[in-house]
Amino acid sequence: MGAKLGAALAILNGAVGDYLHGTGNGLAIEMSVARGVPGPRVVVFLHGLMCTEDVWSFPDGSDYGALLERDLFVSPLYLRFNTGRRVAESGVELARLLEQLVEQHPEIREILLVGFSMGGLVVRSATHVASDAKMRWLSLVTRAFYVGTPHLGSPWERLGRGLVELLRGIDDPYTGLAAELADVRSGGIKDLGDPAHPFPLLPAIRHHFVAGLVEPRYVARLIGDALVPLASGTNGAVSDPDAVLPHHVKILPGVAHMTLAHHPHVYEQLRAWCEAA
């Protein structure tokens, strides 16, 4: 599949992927390892809404996984999934995929998880699925990295919900139709508005958060990286850009949401956390 076709399918799945899956449409993306070969230490990458694994790529073709493989001898695995499905459903799929992976590759002894935006929410969901089902792979996870993940939701999705309700309250058939059209958003998109993630962070895993801030600073206080507010991106750990940061949080001024998936400073921080005892 070409990159352009893959990107188009990713957008379609992000918009109406739950419908495609529910109707058995062949355009629905099934979660799978898009590329990568497992080794003793693996790092698993999950992209965000309407993206593919290509979102991680730098202009020169490298990415966080390739750099970690070069510097720390970690084997990267890049997943592709239907971002229009509910986060909880994708979490189940991820948990099953990782369980199958460790069964087929008993040489795996350590797993690192990296989720960008929605991908981070799927990581959280999958760890709880694995915990409840006592899946073997969970005991191999040492660290989870959340890059631009809306742990406390995104105000833009909540704004969309409010607009739909406002339009529905107007006694006019055309406005009502506009409301119905505006509400044609996938379950995955709607999950991004949830102000609190239903699953707490598992204490056996070291959790790290990377958040961006647009400029100027007074704007960043309101919208964070333009899509995810600072408090949401840090799971509530930081709300003030000028605050002293805990060791498990990294804030990058001047870096907007999508750029977090392929920025050299993000890689530097991921590597530093991986090297820390």
For domain 3-154+187-275, the CATH architecture is 3-Layer(aba) Sandwich (3.40)
List, for residues 166-196, the tens digit of each pLDDT value. 445 555 454 344 444 445 557 777 777 666 6
Closest CA to 94 of 112, 81, 110: 81
Strand 75-80 and strand 32-35: the pairing is antiparallel
Mean pLDDT computed over 33-52:
97
Report the pLDDT value the prediction gives residue 172, as an integer from 0 to 100. Answer: 46
Sorted by where each begins, the domain ranges of the chain are 3-154+187-275
Cα 29 from Cα 81, distance rounded (Å): 6
d(CA 103, CA 100): 5
Tokens 């530097």 — which residue?
A: 268
pLDDT digits (tens, 9 = 90+) for 9-29: 998 898 889 989 999 999 999
217-265 confidence digits (pLDDT tens): 767 677 888 889 899 999 999 888 888 899 999 999 999 999 999 999 9
- Counted residue by residue, the chain has a size of 277
Amino acid at residue number 183: D
User: For the whole model, what pTM was predicted?
Assistant: 0.90
